[in-house]
Amino acid sequence: MTQTAEPAAAVEEEPPGRRTRSRFRLRSRVHLAWFVAAVTFVTITGAAAFRSLPGLLIDPLHQEFAW
11-65 pLDDT tens trace? 666 566 655 555 555 566 899 999 999 999 999 999 999 999 988 899 999 999 9
Q: What is the dihedral of CA 16, 17, 19, 24, to 10 degrees?
A: 140
Type of residue numbered 56:
L
For residue 47, the enclosing domain spans 16-65
In a domain, 24, yes or no: yes
In a domain, 47, yes or no: yes
Q: What is the dihedral of CA 63, 64, 65, 67, to 10 degrees?
A: -10
- Write down the number of H helices and E strands in the chain: 2, 0
Distance CA 47, CA 51 (A): 6
| Reported pTM | 0.49
SS3 58: helix
In a domain, 37, yes or no: yes
